[in-house]
Amino acid sequence: MKIIFFFLLTIVFYVYGGYCLLLWILSLFVQKKDNNSVNFFPTVTFFIPAYNEEKIIRRKIENSLAIDYPKEKIEIVISSDGSFDNTEQIVSEYINKGIKFFKESKRGGKNNLINKFFTKMTGDVIVFSDANSIYRPDAIKNLVKKFLDPEVGCICGKLVYIDDSGSLVGKGESLYFKYESMLKNYESNFGAVVTGNGAIYAIRRSLFSPLPNEVPNDFAHPLEVRSRGFKVVYEPSAIAEEKATSSIKEEFSRRVRIVIRSFSAFIFYQKKFNFLRSLNSFFFISHKLLRWFVFPLMILLLLINFTLSGYFYQIVFKLQLLFYLIALIGWIFDKINIKIKIFYIPFYFCLINLAGTVGLYKYFIGKRETVWEVAESTR
């Protein structure tokens, strides 16, 4: 039992600490390219899908039109996925002001929009965004400059969460994405960033292929590009901002959907490319695959620890109980609107890992997600 205990402990530590440490060490031996002084302006299509986004679509349009990029080299495309609020009326006001507008009469999901309207996009580079993502003026200029390297096929920007509510979920989400950004920064040294973010990432138009409806585009595109032999890199100076989720229920549901769709992408692209037999497998397994199984491993670790005697095992067992107690108190405090910082890390850690387990369970019983449900608290 002790061997199993240390094996499980090692896996959990590796997923949330060891992998990052290993990447940092390996990165010390990689020569980094400096693109900061590069002026490179490929033609860009800025693609923004929208579904019932009347609350924020005007701000998104104004933000997009103000992007610092040569106007003759960028087209801004907004596509409505069967919106039935005032989204389409608002977008229509900007058709003669530099906005291209495509719409579907019935909702089919983001990937349906991408697949259907891709042939109408003219840019050599496609930048994908979300309707609630607000770009810094230089975001696209900074995002695309690494395409000067012909080996680069996909570039992921940096998402910064703005937490106006002060909720434990919002603070946890913000910290989680800071950690994710650090991982991407290290993975970028090897051209092997595992996943992008729907708020801000770009691919070469020449590498596009139709996406299945049940996969997340920001997860599928990096997998596709990397599996075809091109680099996927990270550009931290390309920044988009979003309002953080403030609702526990919304964040949990969102995380469950992410895992269902991401695991669907894993299965699809593993069948298509068998990428687990390549070097890609090290980054993918370390960053994503193991993480989806962490919560049951944590519970098993606790149960095995309970059966072991000895001072060391007693200390570890009590530390685990304390961690879960703090997470539980954090959940209770959030319910009664008490904000204490010490609770948000254990609380959010348990939340996202439990969501991962639920997402896998739903996948294996046949649940699929083909459309994206927005978190209202982020609008």
Taking alpha carbons only, the member of 88, 97, 10 closest to residue 50 is 88
Three-state secondary-structure class, residue 78: strand
Distance CA 325, CA 348 (A): 13
> 354 by DSSP, 3-state: which?
helix
Distance (Å, rounded) from C-alpha 58 to C-alpha 318? 52
User: Residue 13 belongs to what H/E stretch?
Assistant: helix 2-13
Looking at residue 30, its pLDDT comes to 82
pLDDT of residue 34: 66
Chain length of the chain: 379
Element (H, E) at 201: strand 201-204
Residue type, 213: N
The confidence score (pLDDT) of residue 36 equals: 64
Helices (H) and strands (E) in the chain, counts: 13, 8
The amino acid sitting at 131 is A
Q: Which residues of the chain have pLDDT under 70?
A: 33-37, 163-171, 246, 338-339, 371-379
Full residue range of the structural domain in which residue 360 is found: 1-379
pLDDT (0 to 100) of residue 355: 93
The CATH number of residue 96's host domain is 3.90.550.10
Could you give the residue ranges of the DSSP H alpha helices within 118-229?
A: 139-144, 168-188, 217-227
The per-residue pLDDT for 162 is 79
Half-sphere CA count of 163, side-chain side, radius 13 A = 16
Rg of the chain, C-alpha, whole Å: 21
CA 292 to chain centre: 14
| Element housing 203 (H / E) | strand 201-204
Q: How far apart are CA 262 and CA 266, in angstroms?
A: 6
End-to-end, the C-alpha distance of the chain in Å comes to 49
pLDDT, residue 335, reads: 74
Q: Angle 344-364/168-188 helices, nearest 10 degrees?
A: 70
Given its phi and psi angles, is residue 224 left (phi above 0), alpha (psi -120 to 50 degrees) or beta?
Answer: alpha
Partners of 161 in beta bridges: 242
> What is the number of domains present in the chain?
1
The first and second tokens of residue 226, run together, are 């990397």
